[in-house]
Chain A
Amino acid sequence: MSSIALEARPARRGATRDGWLILALVGLVLILMIASLIVGRVPLAFIATLRELVSGDETTAALILGEIRFPRAILAALIGATLGAAGAAMQGLLRNPLAEPGILGVSASAGLGAVIALYFGLSQTFSFALPAAGMTGALLAVLLTYVLSGRDASIFTLILAGVAVNAFAGALTSLALNLAPSPYAALEIVFWMLGSLADRSFDHIRIALPLMAVGGILLAGTGRALNALSLGEDVARSLGVNLRIVRARLILGTAFSVGAAVSVSGTIGFVGLVVPHLLRPLVGHEPGRLMLPSALGGAALVLAADIATRVVPVEPDLQLGVVTAIVGAPFFLYLILHIRRSMR
C-alpha cells in the first residue's frame, strides 16, 4: 500500500492514558492499606506504633500491627488483585461481561478442597493442610474442565464444562455439610466458606504468594491476544495469536492465582465480576488494557470491604465474603438491567 501524507493528529498512546488511571488506583490502594493498618478493635497510635515496630520494640501495639494488621492488609490487597485480574482475564477470554474468576469451577473446587480438609480435621493436624487442600482442589478442577472440554474446545464447551465442575464441587461441599459430625463442624465449614481475612498471618502469605505469582505471570502478557479476541477466534488466529497457548495460560493462570487466594481466604464473591466491569469504560473497553487496572481495583475493593467488616459494629464480626456479596449482588442486578437496556 502506498503511503499518503497524513492529517496532523498526534498519535495517542494507550499507555500514557492508562498511566493516570493506574497511578490513581495505586494511590487508592496505598491509602486503603494504611487505613486497614489503622482501623481495628484495638486503637493504635499509628505513627508511634510504626516507629516501635521498625525499631524492634516488642510492645503489644507493635505486635498487633506487625503480626496481625500488616499480613491482613497485604493479604487483602493480594487476594483482591488476584480476583480483579482473573475476572478481567476470564471476561476477556470468554468475551462475556458476566464471566467471573470462578466460572470454570476454580473457586468452588478450591473451596471444596478446603472443606474436605476441615471435615476430616486435617487443619488441626498440620496448619498448611487447609490451603494445600484448596490449591489441590483448584488444580484438579482445571484438569477436569480441560478433560471435559477437550484441547480445542470452543468457548461454549468450556463454559459448560465449568458449569458441570461448579455444580459437582457444590454438591460435594453440600455433602460434607450434610455429613458433618457435629453442628459445630458444620458451622466451621459454613463460616470458612463465607470468606474472611481474620487471624491470617505471614505464614498464609508465604503459602499463597508463590502460586499467586505464577498465576499472575501466566496472565500477564496475554493482553494483546485478548484484544485480538474481540474480533472472534478466527480473526485472532489469523492475526498470529496461538489460541491454544493463550487459552491454557489464561485458564491455568486463573486456576493458580484464584485457587491460592480462595485457599487462604475462602470464597469472596463478586469482586472479580464487578471490578472489571466498573473499570472497563476507563480503558476504552479494551480487554488487554483492563487486566492491570482491574487488579488494582480489586485490591482496593477487598481492602475496603475488609475494613468495613471491622468498622461495622455487629456481633459476631461480619465475614468478608458477606460484605462483598451484599455490595456486589445489587450491582450485578444493575449490570443485567443495564445490559438489557443497551441490547434493546
Chain B
Amino acid sequence: MAEKVSVDLGARAVLRCASLTAATGNFVGLIGPNGSGKTTLLRTMAGLQRRVAGTVRIDGQLINDMARAELARRLSFLPQGSEVHWPLRVERLVALGRIPHLDGWRRLSGPDHEAVAEALRAVGAAHLVERTVSALSTGERARVLLARALASEPAILLADEPVASLDLSHQLLVLDLIRDLCVQGMTAVVVFHDLTMAARYCDRLTLLVQGRTFAEGTPDEVLVPANLRDAYDVEGALRSDLGVPHVVSLRRIDRAPAGPLQ
C-alpha cells in the first residue's frame, strides 16, 4: 500500500524509503522501537502527513488523486491517545464517524444510528451510550474512540496502538474484533508495542527501524532472534509452547554509542 515513503521533517528524516503492503483482508502489525517512524508511516498512509516523497495507493489508486471525502469513506484513522475536546455524549461522539457518509445537509438517519449502535456493541461499550465522554475511564474512552473509527464501516482501518491503555481482557476483545472484521474483508494496519499480541493476531508484520522497513513477513519470519537483537537490542525469541505465540525477552543487549544498524 505504501511504497518507498520518505518523510523529511526539518533537519530530521523520519521515514527513509519505508514500505508497507497490506492485502485485502489482512491484519498487518506495524512494529518497531520508539522513534522508528511507525506513527509517521501510519499518518502518511492516512494522507495526513505533509512533505512526503513516495506514494501511497489504495487498490492501485494514488490517495493524492482521491477526493478527501472518498478517502474518508474507505479509510478510517484512529490516532494514539484519547483527545476529545468537549464533553460530548458517547453516542454523538461515535456518530462523528458517520460524517464521511453524510453528504451535503443530510442528517443522521436509520442506517447511521444502526452503524453507531453496532460499533458500540462490537467494542463492548453499548452500555456507555448515554454517558458523557469526559466521565469515562481511559480504557472505556479508548474503546469508544475505536467505535468511532469503526462506525464509518471502513474498508481500511489504520489504528495507532488501540490497545495500549486497555486491560488484558479488553485487549483480547478489541483484537478479536479487528481480526473478525478482517476475516469479513476489512484491511487493518495496527501499530503495536506488545510484540506478543502482534505475533498472536497479525497475518503479517512490518518492522520499522530508523525510518526504514527492516523486515516484512509473517510473525514467524519477522520475530526471529536476529531481528529482535538488531531492531530492539534485546536477546529474545518467539515461542509458542503454550499453544499461542508469545515473544520472550531475555535480556537487554548493551551496545556501543553507535546505532543499532552499525
Contacts and interface: CB of A to CB of B under 8 A. Distances in A.
Contact of B99 (A6, A7, A11, A240): A240
B114 interface: yes
A240 B69 contact: yes
Nearest to B43: A234
Given A1-B118, A6-B118, A285-B86, A239 B99 contact: yes
Interface residues of A, number: 33
Contacts of B109: 11
B43 A286 contact: no
A149 interface: no
A231 B76 CA distance: 13
A224 interface: yes
Given A6-B114, A228-B96, A232-B79, A238 B88 contact: no
Contacts of B73: 240
A235 interface: yes
Contacts of B48: 234, 237-238
Given A3-B118, A238-B46, A239-B100, A230 B77 contact: no
A285 B87 contact: yes
A7 B118 CA distance: 10
Contact of A152 (B50, B83, B119): B50
A285 B83 contact: no
A1 B68 contact: no
Contacts of A240: 68-69, 71-73, 99-100
A284 B84 CA distance: 14
Interface in A206-241: 224, 227-232, 234-235, 237-241
Interface of A: 1-4, 6-7, 9, 11, 13-15, 95, 152, 224, 227-232, 234-235, 237-242, 280, 284-287
8 contacts: A1-B122, A3-B114, A6-B114, A224-B102, A238-B47, A238-B48, A280-B86, A284-B92
Given A229-B85, A240-B100, 9 more contacts: A6-B113, A13-B108, A14-B92, A14-B108, A15-B107, A230-B96, A231-B93, A240-B73, A286-B92
